[in-house]
Amino acid sequence: MKNKVAAIILGAGKGTRMKSDKPKVLMPVCGKAMINHIIDTLKTIPADDIVTVISPDGDAVKQAVAPYKTCVQSEQLGTGHAVNCARDLLKDFDGTIMVIFGDTPLISKKTFLNSINKVEDGYAVVVLGFRPADPARYGRLVMKGDELERIVEFKDADDEQKAINFCNSGFMAFDGRYLFEILSKIGNKNAAGEFYLTDAVEVAKQMGLKCTAVEGDAEEVASANTLEELALLEQYYGKK
């Protein structure tokens, strides 16, 4: 690792599907909030800057991540919009910027470093992929050699693309020199009217930038939206 490293943690989600008033990223895995597992791993890299995107009523998350910085996503307009909320804090950051979903607490230091190394090798966008036992609902990573051509959502995939078992985990790393320019070019002409971070690959390719993917294992990239999935994370954490 030669350059500086920053992380943007997406932490604005609510815990509704977990039947809790607690923000989702504060749900515990083995006695510690999910987001604090992520921060503890980032400290070991060590990350030079950590910014958490919170909701307007996200004071509890702000307290949990202190003394690290936070920014507010005032409207839920998609993952690309969420990352862009950190623009003022990181627009001049010269190094690798990782984007981490706050409900994926088990991504390893090794995987973070693999992603950082790819950015330092000249890739503007690096996506963390994995090979799940059942890839049905995940976006597919379409590779051409070492180059990531595009991310195709399952519902948009043709039969050939559905046969791909290399899937998108959600985690991405960017060359900080290009991240916010890429985000500024992502549109919201889709059914939800949202700005999707996954469109960053297509935009980067249009800008003449290189994209690639690294591979993690299915357990470390697991996320939790329900109590059942939270219980699975506890199991996976116990194997570490």
The yes-or-no answer on residue 177 being catalytic is: no
Using alpha carbons, select from 230, 223, 237, 232 the residue that is nearest to residue 20: 230
Using alpha carbons, select from 143, 140, 174 the residue that is nearest to residue 159: 140
127 in helix, strand or coil?
A: strand
Instruction: Transcribe 85-97 into DSSP letters.
Output: TTHHHHTT--EEE
Q: Give CA–CA dist 45/133, Å, rounded.
A: 30
**Would you tell me how many other CB atoms lie within 10 Å of the CB of residue 214?**
22
Q: Which two tokens stand for residue 157?
A: 């995939």
β-pair type (4-10, 167-175):
unpaired
17, 87, 137, 177: which one is catalytic?
17
**Residue numbers annotated as active site:** 17
